[in-house]
Structure 1
Amino acid sequence: MAGKDEEEIILQTFMVKRSQNKKLFTPVNFKGRWVVLKRRALAYYDSDGERRRERGRIATDSIHTVEQAQLAELSKQIPDGVAENSQYKYPFQVGYTEQNTDYTLYLIVGDHSERLHWIHTIRSLCVCNTRRPRYHPGAWSARRWACCDGERRSAPGCQIATIWPLPEPQLEILVQKEKPVNDVTPVTAAVTMPGGGGAPPGTPSAKPKDKPRTKVVVALYPFKAIESGDLSLEKGAEYEVIDDSQEHWWKVKDENGYVINNKKCCYSW
């Protein structure tokens, strides 16, 4: 069985990490970390060497928010020598739940396009997770949210969360099975006329015809419709496929909405 460090690495790079301050009365600080994204976890280490030590790990199935962040204290608190010319100034946040408590990991990269790439990739891995509709773009500091001055750390977000992109083409949210349109196809036997004649004209043949088949899919996860014309899915419900000619979109029979193919969320029958 492969260990946790043998899993395929999807993304990895050096970043600056803001302290999460899980305990009360702990100072805010920024430290350089080697960040590694795998399918099941986002982990960070003290270096990228062979003898590196893991400093933290977040299970991807616990992630509910991935957004850009606003860290007003950033330029003042990045330690000297962590980044040349203080180039690390593009923060983003990863919100997750651990032991029924919400936490936020703030990471800072040196390029806006790199920030967008990490956000998109993490969202793609977590596309089946339960997500939060709102978030705080600022950080919790000095007993208040920097973005809205909210005084409760558990206060709902002050901004609406971004709609996550559609799953990657190789993912599949539905599992497919086939069944006849009718479980029993009636068959009429030919009538033999006196004298050994064959069936009279117009009499159906005794040979059963091929049963028409239709494609039926079963939703493995619930899906909330976003656009008009989309179809919300209920976990375990069956849907008849009307059109699967497009690679990424299927039209299914229920309310004639569209659903996406997402392999990450499917199982084999």
Structure 2
Amino acid sequence: MSEEVLLEERLIKRSQQKKRTSPQNYKERLFVLTRSRLTYYDGKAEKKFRRGWIELSRIRCVEIVKNGGGIIPCQNKYPFQVVYDAYTLYVFAPSHDSRSLWVQSLKEEIKDNSVILAKFHPQFWQEGAWLCCRQAEKQALGCEEYNLFGDISRKPLPPIPGEERKNEKQRRPAPPLPQAGTDDDEDGGGDEEEEEMVVVALYSFTATEPHDLSLVKGGEYVILDQSDVNWFKAQNQYGEEGYIPSNYVTEKESGNLEQFVWYNKQVNRNKAEELLRKEDKEGAFIVRDSSAAGTYTVSLYTKCAAGEGHSAIKHYHIKETQSSPPLFYLAEKHVFSSVPDLIDYHKHNAAGLVARLRYPVSKQDKSAPSTAGFSYDKWEINPTELTFMKEVGSGQFGLVRLGKWRAQHKVAIKAIREGAMYEEDFIEEAKVMMKLSHPKLVQLYGVCSHQRPIYIVTEFMELGCLLNFLRQRRGSFSVGSLLSICLDVCEGMEHLEANGFIHRDLAARNCLVNDSLVVKVSDFGMARYVLDDQYTSSSGAKFPVKWSPPEVFNFCRYSSKSDVWSYGVLMWEVFSEGRMPFEQNMNHEVVTMVTSGHRLYRPKLASPAIYDIMQLCWHERQDERPAFSQLCMMISDSLEVDAPPSN
């Protein structure tokens, strides 16, 4: 006899397996609550396509998730969490009332559980950290007291008499935690697992170590283990297994656009226009992320724009209907069940656009992204495998040379001058820094630590430091190009912030530019290892006072918010095309000026709106400075003005 159904509704769940979050991680499921289980199905419940379930006796906490104004890349905007065993299931309801009903109903069913948490995390676990308290350990103790009765989005209810947990010791013991290896079971319950994950290779990869697996672009692979965010264990069609770089593959499923050549994930409006002008073909197009997460824009190039007399680029926002599931369209008369179907139709019919979508333009063919190290769990590099080439610069720690690893991979090699840094501390930290892999961070590949001088081996950036790049090309930048530079840096810093990593010396001189004009943040965290009083003491001549907020030059208190202040100064450097901040003033004068409320003037190329963003970074109170995630949205909004379809 089947159990009584208490609640039943189509909700959206976020995958627990995947370490990165994107719109493809969110799946609509039919959730069913009974007295003993929370179950979710793919399709209709009567068809029994059960994807997962959780025994209610294992649940430790049910509560809403305070999103803090962040972006939710799915149509349901009201998240709640179900914490059970060592896992957290995030579920997204379509309305406040729906969420409240689920939270209250679940709380009522679990109120007698012996495993209830005393404290919980009110915000998301995302990209390696709790957003509420910035703890980087997933099983870290909660940071807010958990109320077993009531929904924290409403006024808390008083405790039910007699339900206070006086008799905690008399309750049944907690069930054992799942055994090692059950992370692969997405639902964490029963013996029915989520379907196996199949990925498509976006780039070819040649295995460098016996435990790696080579990839062929376009090939399909089954993922066996995702416990390392940067290197997945995979199996190819011949049954061979090994590690592959996670940023070289994308999940094969109908809703995932990354498998299509026309989709460009990491391209903003300005870069899309650069790529399309370079292609210079009628009907060349790109599909890219819009400034609002989970939505897309088609950027289309035409040589014969009506009334303009020259080439033009139009940006069309892909709209969605209010139906469930939603339909997609560029022109209201032509709606489609998926974005690929929409693109395929407009390849053959302009239907309101300035041209047909004839030539997909992709940045994927240009160059593969950097990997977190050359191989899985490899951070120590044999110096005999390095070829030293020309000298390309010198930094705080010593000379930097262009080189090659195993005569194949171009790298930058920094030889650390004796006495320049705390070497042992840095070598230990290098293992952590290598795992910080992002398209807008200069990748650390490894170190040669078994001889002196030690070498730091990083990604090679062909056009050198951003400061020189700005100065050498002064007068040639559009406002869009300068904003695009700022967005690149901001995205890199957002990743550091999300991982609880502080740069401490963010400035244009510590960002680098590659031959695709992508700007990446370099030398993050390195300031901690400098052995130079002139640099480390705020009274020293080399101390970056002009980039530092009052809490740093007065008390040496570093945080992500001090990085935000420095980022505001970097924006000023970009929009002044490489000028020195406070160029007429000595360091001690800058300390007095900033402490008394003086700020840098507005550069000529910066609009009042852009200057407002800089000034937000320079609030004296740290809690009034925006987070990098908020800054990214502000700058994206400044870059992005989507055009409506032509009639």
TM-score bracket, shorter-length normalisation: 0.5 to 0.7
Residue 70 of structure 1: how far off its partner (Å):
3.0
- State the match for 1:150 in structure 2: 135
Same amino acid, percent of matched pairs:
31
Q: Is the CA contact (8 Å cut-off) linking 2:20 and 2:127 kept in structure 1?
A: no
- State the match for 1:90 in structure 2: 78
Q: Is the CA contact (8 Å cut-off) linking 2:30 and 2:45 kept in structure 1?
A: no
Q: 1:32 to 1:149 in 2, by over 3 A?
A: same
Q: Is the CA contact (8 Å cut-off) linking 2:78 and 2:94 kept in structure 1?
A: yes
Residue 72 of structure 1: how far off its partner (Å):
6.4
- State the match for 2:56 in structure 1: 60
Q: Could you tell me the TM-score, scaled by structure 1's length?
A: 0.53
- State the match for 1:104 in structure 2: 88
- Corresponding residue to 2:3 among 2, 7, 29: 7
Describe the superposition over 1:222-258 as per-residue Cα deviations: whole angstroms up to 9, x where unpaired. Answer: 9525xxxxxx68749xxxxxxxxxxxxxxxxxxxxxx
- State the match for 1:33 in structure 2: 29
Q: Is the CA contact (8 Å cut-off) linking 1:74 and 1:89 kept in structure 2?
A: no
Q: 1:36 to 1:147 in 2, by over 3 A?
A: same
Q: Is the CA contact (8 Å cut-off) linking 2:38 and 2:53 kept in structure 1?
A: yes
Q: Is the CA contact (8 Å cut-off) linking 1:41 and 1:58 kept in structure 2?
A: yes
CA RMSD of aligned residues (A): 2.9
Partner SS state of residue 32, structure 1: strand
Residue 48 of structure 1: how far off its partner (Å):
2.1
> Higher helix fraction: Structure 1 or Structure 2?
2
Q: 1:106 to 1:233 in 2, by over 3 A?
A: closer
- State the match for 1:159 in structure 2: 144
Q: Which consecutive residues of structure 1, in runs of 5 or more, have no partner in the other structure? A: 79-85, 174-221, 226-231, 237-269
Q: 1:8 to 1:64 in 2, by over 3 A?
A: same
- State the match for 1:224 in structure 2: 165
Q: Is the CA contact (8 Å cut-off) linking 1:223 and 1:234 kept in structure 2?
A: no
Q: Is the CA contact (8 Å cut-off) linking 1:66 and 1:119 kept in structure 2?
A: yes
Partner SS state of residue 46, structure 2: coil
Q: Could you tell me the TM-score, scaled by structure 2's length?
A: 0.23
- Corresponding residue to 2:108 among 124, 132, 148: 124
Matches within 5 A, 1:174-213: none
C-alpha separation in 2, matches of 1:92 and 1:160? 16
C-alpha separation in 1, matches of 2:31 and 2:70? 19
- State the match for 2:527 in structure 1: none
Residue 61 of structure 1: how far off its partner (Å):
0.4
C-alpha separation in 2, matches of 1:44 and 1:132? 24
More RCO (CA 8 Å, sep 6+): 1
1:106 alignment partner AA: Y
Describe the superposition over 1:162-186 as per-residue Cα deviations: whole angstroms up to 9, x where unpaired. Answer: 14259xx9xxx9xxxxxxxxxxxxx
Q: 1:73 to 1:51 in 2, by over 3 A?
A: farther
Q: 1:54 to 1:8 in 2, by over 3 A?
A: same
Q: Is the CA contact (8 Å cut-off) linking 2:111 and 2:148 kept in structure 1?
A: no
What is the total number of aligned residue pairs between the two structures?
160
Residue 27 of structure 1: how far off its partner (Å):
5.0
C-alpha separation in 1, matches of 2:148 and 2:54? 22
Q: 1:162 to 1:49 in 2, by over 3 A?
A: closer
Q: 1:52 to 1:74 in 2, by over 3 A?
A: farther
Describe the superposition over 1:180-202 as per-residue Cα deviations: whole angstroms up to 9, x where unpaired. Answer: xxxxxxxxxxxxxxxxxxxxxxx
Q: Is the CA contact (8 Å cut-off) linking 1:64 and 1:96 kept in structure 2?
A: yes
C-alpha separation in 1, matches of 2:100 and 2:9? 14
Residue 26 of structure 1: how far off its partner (Å):
5.9
C-alpha separation in 1, matches of 2:129 and 2:71? 20
Q: Is the CA contact (8 Å cut-off) linking 1:12 and 1:37 kept in structure 2?
A: yes
C-alpha separation in 2, matches of 1:153 and 1:30? 20
C-alpha separation in 1, matches of 2:92 and 2:123? 14
Q: Which consecutive residues of structure 2, in runs of 5 or more, have no partner in the other structure? A: 151-156, 172-647
